[in-house]
Amino acid sequence: MVPQTPRESRFHTLIAELHTLPDADSVEQWPTDQLARLQRAGAYRWNIPVQYGGDGLSPESMLQRYRELARASLLITFVLSQRNAACQRIETSPNTAAAAAWLPKLAAGELFATVGISHLTTSRQYLKVPAVTVTEAGDDYILNGTIPWATGAAYADLLVTGGTLSDGRQILAAIPIHRTGVSVKPPVSLMGLSASCTSEVQLQDVHISGADLLHGPVERVMTAGSGMGGAGSLSTSAIALGTAQGTLDRFAEEAALRPELLPFLNPLQREAEELAQQLETAAAGGNPKETMSSETLRRRANSLVMRSAQAWLASTRGAGYLAGHPAERAVRESLFFLVWSCPQPVLEGNLRELACGTG
């Protein structure tokens, strides 16, 4: 057996701990305990560059961690991914002073950050007036409007968000959550993942200086420094796939008692392995002819996570339909992937599959 580094051994301890702790399921249950364990395992350092006190893990390693983490706890992995998306926008900013100010504290877990950027990519795109408007005030900017989604905003110190100027250019900024004019609305009760404490954030005349500015003003600011964290990115597929694998692990426990289920479990397991392989190839930037596009990967991971949960539910029969049964919960949570961070082609592929039986 290959000996583990202390870092790997902390990761495996974390995974084992998360497997034993049930995910909370209500807006009153922000997962403080699990997040503390994440911090103890060094998870807040994984994605931060070494120069800022992080581990600087490669994108491939990050994707593998997301997948393994989601296999144990979708809730924690999702919350971590939103925090990491905020870190990424800071890290890729030309404003190196902002990176030097925020990233060491984020790596140490002294601060928690989240992101409210969907209104610049996948949410409210049909509105005539942007969800968040930006006006110039000398060298500074003033933000007004509503950020429709920000996970864990009530528990965050820092919010990475942005808005649109009247000429269509956009900015992204890192805003301390207690800045005048920022108000976090109460977390909304959701079909699943309510404990992610996701809420709207209202911005009223919020002042942004050059020190806060991360990207822009530029058209389509979300394509600036998007790397692996944008809407429908490989990270989102890794989380969907890990969640599917967690569901299949539990389905396998049922099948161990009832071998007649194996013909239904086995193809789903094979599909998960194939997708994991494809994800690895895509992360390593493999030959484009042999590599699935990130959209195809996400569409297929969405399909797999939903079918796995429904197959498990069907196998548990009426018992699994009772509120609180893990299969019932898996079905609810799998549907999250239909609506979270889905670019239009992914959404259309999933809708086609639902309408016509094939993506």
Ligand X SMILES: Cc1cc2nc3c(=O)[nH]c(=O)nc-3n(C[C@H](O)[C@H](O)[C@H](O)COP(=O)(O)OP(=O)(O)OC[C@H]3O[C@@H](n4cnc5c(N)ncnc54)[C@H](O)[C@@H]3O)c2cc1C
Contact between 148 and ligand X by CB under 6 A: the answer reads: yes
Q: Which is nearer to ligand X, 31 or 255 (CB)?
A: 31
Selected binder of ligand X within 84, 198, 235, 278 (CB under 6 A) = 198
Contact between 150 and ligand X by CB under 6 A: the answer reads: yes
Q: Are 49 and 56 in contact (CB under 8 A)?
A: yes
Q: Which is nearer to ligand X, 234 or 268 (CB)?
A: 234
Shortest CB 198 distance to ligand X, Å: 4
Contact between 341 and ligand X by CB under 6 A: the answer reads: yes
- Residue 310 DSSP SS3: helix
**263-296 burial code (b ≥16 CB/10 A, e <16):** eebeebbebbeebbebbbebbeeeeeeebbebbb
Shortest CB 194 distance to ligand X, Å: 8
Q: Which is nearer to ligand X, 48 or 172 (CB)?
A: 172
Q: Which is nearer to ligand X, 262 or 339 (CB)?
A: 339
- Residue 48 DSSP SS3: coil
Length of the chain: 359
Name the helix (H) or strand (E) containing 207: strand 198-208
Distance between CA atoms of residues 233 and 292, nearest Å: 12
Determine phi and psi for 179, rounding to 5 degrees.
Answer: -65, 145
- Residue 307 DSSP SS3: helix
Contact between 126 and ligand X by CB under 6 A: the answer reads: yes
Contact between 340 and ligand X by CB under 6 A: the answer reads: yes
Choose one: 25-33, 104-112, 146-154, 343-351; the region binding ligand X (CB under 6 A).
Answer: 146-154
**1-36 burial code (b ≥16 CB/10 A, e <16):** eeeeeeeeeebeebbebbeeeebbbebeebbeebbe
Distance between CA atoms of residues 102 and 87, nearest Å: 9
Shortest CB 131 distance to ligand X, Å: 8
CB atoms inside a 10 Å sphere around CB 238: 30
Distance between CA atoms of residues 111 and 355, nearest Å: 44
Contact between 84 and ligand X by CB under 6 A: the answer reads: no
Contact between 123 and ligand X by CB under 6 A: the answer reads: yes
Distance between CA atoms of residues 236 and 255, nearest Å: 28
Selected binder of ligand X within 73, 122, 269, 350 (CB under 6 A) = 122
Selected binder of ligand X within 10, 124, 169, 332 (CB under 6 A) = 124
Shortest CB 332 distance to ligand X, Å: 11
First-to-final CA distance of the chain = 42
Q: Are 158 and 101 in contact (CB under 8 A)?
A: no
Q: Are 359 and 349 in contact (CB under 8 A)?
A: yes
Choose one: 54-62, 117-125, 212-220, 259-267; the region binding ligand X (CB under 6 A).
Answer: 117-125
> 217-256: which residues touch ligand X (CB under 6 A)?
none
Q: Which is nearer to ligand X, 200 or 271 (CB)?
A: 200
Contact between 81 and ligand X by CB under 6 A: the answer reads: no
Shortest CB 248 distance to ligand X, Å: 23
Q: Which is nearer to ligand X, 198 or 243 (CB)?
A: 198
Shortest CB 153 distance to ligand X, Å: 8
- Number of residues in contact with ligand X under rule CB under 6 A: 22
Binding mask 166-195 for ligand X (x = CB under 6 A): ------------------------x--x--
Contact positions toward ligand X, by CB under 6 A? 82, 114-118, 122-126, 148-151, 190, 193, 196, 198, 339-341
